[in-house]
Structure 1
């Protein structure tokens, strides 16, 4: 049952309705959720075989990973300060705004440059996510990248 180890079976984003997302941010969020549904590696270090449901939210300046079992019963909440993520999130939101403007203007070279910047920010966000969750939650790099996208969507215009 190796393929069942440490996997998210459902992701619930809480509080996102409080913020308006651009079409591009919605597309990013939806793609991240779809990609996570397809493939992810995520487990509590204390429960490595848990098939979990993740309720992800931002509460009182903290990123909350409310990790639950298959029946949606709470198992453990992991909270991270948002401070270390804020500059990356701000930069990511500025890049999305620049991307939308470049698309509207039809500037292909600019779109490609911004896309490279987005990938770089995703990588930085994923590295920070892995580092901040170390010892509590084990995640692989692609899962961390997708979770960073979701954190950006939740943090929109806070």
Structure 2
């Protein structure tokens, strides 16, 4: 495994606490998937692998990055405002998808799932753009990190930036 990767992700329960067991499960799965396979480099640094601690401050997502032994590397704040629309759309299409699973034909489910993946890709690209110049991630890592951001918001009653 390369040095430019995440080996752990920690969530600040005080500012990003889960609202229940389902939300906590979604977070754990998202973190597992992210840790399992990722490319994560801090621009201008070569001290990986890294540990990422996520918290929220004044409706912004705080990325506190450390080395595996615990040395501080960089902390930056990501405004969630640009993500509000895509996160809202993603939750809406996910609700439609879960409803379709119960009542629709396989063809209809597939069409909704394609739309869901498209919105997820849009959010992932936006995240990659917003991290440009700070964090070097590939598209697959951006997808996994966007999934985690959505899981964090789902755990807080689906209020992006709240």
* TM-score under structure 1 length normalisation: 0.85
In the other structure, the counterpart of 2:19 is 19
Looking at structure 2, the residues matched to 135 and 73 of structure 1 have their Cα atoms a distance apart, in angstroms, of 21
Q: CA deviation at 1:30?
A: 4.3
| Corresponding residue pairs, total | 154
1:8-157 mapped onto 2 (5 Å cutoff): 8-15=6-13, 16-20=16-20, 26-27=25-26, 29-156=27-154, 157=158
Following TM superposition, the consecutive aligned residue runs of length 4 or more in structure 1 with deviations greater than 4 angstroms are 20-23
Cα deviation digits, residues 59-88 of structure 1 (max 9, x gap): 321122111111234321121111100101
**Alpha carbons 1:8, 1:53 under 8 Å: kept:** yes
Structure 2: runs of 5 or more not aligned: none
CA distance in 1, matches of 2:19, 2:70: 25
The answer for unaligned runs of 5 or more in structure 1 is none
Distance 1:51 1:144 in 2: 17
RMSD across aligned C-alpha pairs, in angstroms? Answer: 2.2
Provide TM-score, normalisation by structure 2: 0.83
Offset of residue 92 of structure 1: 0.7
**CA–CA distance in structure 1, aligned partners of residues 92 and 22 of structure 2:** 12
SS at structure 1 position matched to 2:17: helix
